[in-house]
Structure 1
Amino acid sequence: RFTTTALALGFCVSVFAQDAPDAAIIQKLRKEGLENSKVMDIAFNLTDVNGPRLSNSPGLKRAQEWAVKQLTDWGLKNAHLESWGTFGKGWQIDKYYAATTLPYYHALIASPKAWTPGTNGPIKSSVVLIKADSVSDLAKYKGKLAGKIVMMDAGAPLQSGLKPDFNRYADSTLTQMADAKPMAAGARGGQRPGANNMMAQMMKMREVRAAMSAMLVEEKVGLILTYARGGQGTFFTSNGASYALDAKPVSPELEVAAEDYLHILRLLRAGKPVELEADIKTSFYDQDPQGYNVIAEIPGTDKKLKEELVMIGGHFDSWHAGTGATDNAAGSAVMMEAVRILKSIDFKPKRTIRIA
């Protein structure tokens, strides 16, 4: 809490840093920020109360409306939602369940990929392992996948976490970093060895994946299982389709935590049958495809400078599988706390301060 509040206070001080520092105002800022911080309450409302904030989803709209009301209650002016242009469809998970039932029951740690459809009710199927290094390899699966749950023969082995998540730099290291000189143009020494081969392999994989995606839609597969980045109980989710209003149809897709995905993969590679059941329901929202920013201001008081803006902000949306605490409720909460502190001490800026 101290670190987060300190960040907010750092901004507050910078608002009037061009003028001679006012010790009394700085003391008020410190006192309010350190003794009456609301930053954790703000973060609580953005995450636990309003939940995931995927772009144009009901969760994002709910959080945006809360923020507008909160900023207004603090006394900021002109708090509103302002369209920045067309985004596309909103989407949310209404229901999700998936578990292996053979060789034994095991609930999966997973999440539907954003902007993918549901399963249209409960499904149950043996899991089919697809091995394809080229587009021609896909031909052997045609006509055999309708209603099936499929997964690709791919997945990076998990590495043990032998290093701490964070390290404090020694003073000597910080000095070395501060003294680092920019690299001269062209000093990298040209292309890395094997770069052309790596690029060719990537293009080939992209071609195979595009062909596979189209084939799976045509085959009407029941569900695709994909390998999620991450490990040790954490996984990173993503989107499985475009949010554009005219996006092409895709198959239902479930992003599975590495531990569970590799568990199923090991069984299938060993020739052991795996059965899985799933029930996924998702909703799309295309009534209002506009994207919106949360806007509010502390008006400037100087006749000559009040039309100038001091802008602060952070992205307000998040992915859908969690509540977006670090991406980016933390940043948004700090920015909201900064303007709350300024209003609470009745600070009168020369320039208008706008949060967005």
Structure 2
Amino acid sequence: MNRKIFYALLLSAVTTLSAFAQTDQQMLDRIKEEGLNKSEVMQTAFYLTDVSGPRLANSPGLKRAQDWAVNQLKTWGMVKATREPWGKFGKGWEVQKNYAAITAPYYHAIVAIPKAWTPGTNGPVKGNVVLIKADSVSDLDKYKGTLKGKIVMLDVKGNVENTFRPDATRLTDSALTAMANATPAPARQQRRATTGGRGSLASMLALRSALSKFYVQEGVALVLSQARGTDGTVFTTNGASYADTAKTVAPELETSGEDYQRILRLVKAGIKVEMEADIKTQFLTNDLQGYDVVGEIPGTDSKLKDQLVIIGGHLDSWHAATGATDNAAGSAVMLETMRILKRVGFKPRRTIRIVLWSSEEQGLWGSRYYVLNHFGDPKTMVLKPEQAKVSAYYNLDNGTGKIRGVYLQGNQAAGPIFQQWLAPFKDMGAGTITINNTGGTDHLSFDAVGIPGFQFIQDNMDYSTRTHHSNQDTYDKLSEADLKQAATITAWFVYNTSQRDEMMPRKPLPEVAKN
């Protein structure tokens, strides 16, 4: 090759690379400006929490939030924004009235939340609290014919002691270093369950099922159960199935540990405890389908526009509060990511799609069925053509804490790529890449069919100790600075994923799931 031609080509290549680098830096600066200084993430969080209310699966609150999110995506200029049905879920349910108090030996309004998918009291009820001591199904016989109209509770020793640990914490440098230095975990060895363990579990489940039937048969007015939590925090759960064929159960209140133990001490001391309650709940059966919110920024590259970069978080919550940290935070960050990219005028090479999941709290149903409908079946590993077109899925669902890095989910090849993308954010505390897996949320649905699915590492804050599934999970627990940081980093990840010449590296396909 002629030396002059060689140097001309070299100069052209260097100039092109420099232009690309300059373009990336300009886009990074614009993303930071929009995400950190012109953020709308808290406004979005306000509408998802305070305005929409609790967002239990298939509840009116979830539909309010979904409709608002669809309208907002359209307002920001996204295409194909809609509520997409994914399949049958079951009954919707919401609390319409909730009052309960001790009236004797003195008055005290208690902290208590109806268990999800349980009925109300059908008007005000008033009665004595009766203690049931039952270690086996046969122990229930002595209570037959004595509980009609009564308020019942079990003899449960609850832990409401002070732990002397802070509620809110951030990941320490040593914890992040340990995560960064982690090595791939060996394949799990199947544990052999002992007969005694299985027997104990079976006995407990049998007693729980028998109690549920017994309460209905005996016509109890209300069941009190002790919630996990201290200091008036109630970590709530469901008290019945959401299936449209589920059997009727008795009204049940999940009570704060302090109130439950106070009532229990009084009753066990032989002091008469009288309570009054008025609980109204509503079941909704007019639409049993589940829905996800979907919207897109279309790709512009003729060769890559059919490929996808997907981001998401679950929009549904539990019902005791407004699901701010679990997971309006993640949903607001992902909506803000789309807003940032649209506002800075980004024209992606690949199509960017946001999906806000429903029914995550009941078993990742929204994302599992979305993946089944669009990408393939993890049980058979029969894949659909669109599976090969997804470069990556990014998820956020661990509270309000800022992003500290990424769980690779065993995808080692993605590590150096993410390390480079995080470099501009080290001064914001983000820089840890760990080979570790993390579970319990929607990226697992993508990973199960061989799509690179990632969850960001986040600071814990008071997620586990105070807000996760509790009556404390309100807008007030959100950290504005952390959500701005998270949205800015996510936007940068999405930008890079959509622009790189190659798709994100993939792990080998999972083996077919065995029964």
Alignment correspondent of 2:413: none
Answer yes or no: is the 8 Å Cα contact 2:119–2:281 preserved in 1. Answer: yes
Relative distance call for 1:176 and 1:329 in structure 2 (3 A) is: closer
The residue identity in structure 2 corresponding to 1:225 is L
TM-score (norm 1): 0.90
Alignment correspondent of 1:286: 285
SS in 2 for 1:272: coil
Alignment correspondent of 1:8: none
The residue identity in structure 1 corresponding to 2:233 is T
Answer yes or no: is the 8 Å Cα contact 1:83–1:290 preserved in 2. Answer: yes
CA–CA distance in 2 between the matches of 1:173 and 1:147?
A: 53
CA–CA distance in 2 between the matches of 1:137 and 1:80?
A: 53
The one of the two structures with greater contact order (alpha-carbon pairs below 8 A, sep at least 6) is 1
Of 161-170 and 72-81, deviating more is: 161-170
Alignment correspondent of 2:321: 322
Equivalent in 54, 66, 88 of residue 68 of structure 2: 66
The residue identity in structure 2 corresponding to 1:351 is R
> Does 2:105 align with 1:106?
no
The residue identity in structure 2 corresponding to 1:303 is S
Could you tell me how far 1:170 is from its partner in structure 2?
Answer: 5.0
Alignment correspondent of 2:330: 331
Alignment correspondent of 1:248: 247
Of 22-31 and 173-182, deviating more is: 173-182
SS in 2 for 1:231: coil
Relative distance call for 1:186 and 1:296 in structure 2 (3 A) is: closer
Alignment correspondent of 2:150: 148
CA–CA distance in 2 between the matches of 1:158 and 1:187?
A: 36
> Does 2:163 align with 1:161?
yes
CA–CA distance in 2 between the matches of 1:25 and 1:36?
A: 15
Aligned pairs for 1:180-195 (under 5 A) are 180-182=182-184, 184-185=186-187
TM-score (norm 2): 0.63
Could you tell me how far 1:202 is from its partner in structure 2?
Answer: 2.6
Aligned Cα RMSD in Å? 1.9
The residue identity in structure 2 corresponding to 1:305 is L
SS in 2 for 1:296: strand
Q: Deviation string for 1:103-129 (max 9, x for gaps)?
A: 110001011111111101100000010
Relative distance call for 1:295 and 1:277 in structure 2 (3 A) is: same
Alignment correspondent of 2:55: 53
CA–CA distance in 2 between the matches of 1:237 and 1:187?
A: 33
Which 4+ runs in 1 deviate beyond 6 A? none
Aligned pairs for 1:142-291 (under 5 A) are 142-168=144-170, 171-182=173-184, 184-185=186-187, 197-291=196-290
SS in 2 for 1:221: coil
The residue identity in structure 2 corresponding to 1:159 is E
Q: Deviation string for 1:229-261 (max 9, x for gaps)?
A: 111221111111111111111111111111111
Q: Deviation string for 1:313-337 (max 9, x for gaps)?
A: 1111011110000110000000000
SS in 2 for 1:147: coil
Answer yes or no: is the 8 Å Cα contact 2:300–2:349 preserved in 1. Answer: yes
SS in 1 for 2:120: coil
Relative distance call for 1:341 and 1:216 in structure 2 (3 A) is: same
CA–CA distance in 2 between the matches of 1:236 and 1:230?
A: 6
Equivalent in 20, 30, 33 of residue 31 of structure 1: 33
Relative distance call for 1:92 and 1:176 in structure 2 (3 A) is: closer
The residue identity in structure 1 corresponding to 2:266 is L
Could you tell me how far 1:181 is from its partner in structure 2?
Answer: 3.3
CA–CA distance in 2 between the matches of 1:172 and 1:99?
A: 47
The residue identity in structure 2 corresponding to 1:344 is R
Answer yes or no: is the 8 Å Cα contact 1:92–1:283 preserved in 2. Answer: yes
The residue identity in structure 2 corresponding to 1:119 is T
Q: Deviation string for 1:280-327 (max 9, x for gaps)?
A: 111111001000001110000011111111100111101111000011
Aligned pairs for 1:111-126 (under 5 A) are 111-126=113-128
The residue identity in structure 2 corresponding to 1:94 is Q
Q: Please, which runs of 5 or more residues in structure 2 have no aligned partner?
A: 1-19, 356-515
CA–CA distance in 2 between the matches of 1:317 and 1:285?
A: 16
CA–CA distance in 1 between the matches of 2:170 and 2:88?
A: 43
CA–CA distance in 1 between the matches of 2:158 and 2:201?
A: 16
CA–CA distance in 1 between the matches of 2:192 and 2:80?
A: 52
The residue identity in structure 2 corresponding to 1:328 is N
SS in 1 for 2:330: helix
CA–CA distance in 2 between the matches of 1:43 and 1:169?
A: 24
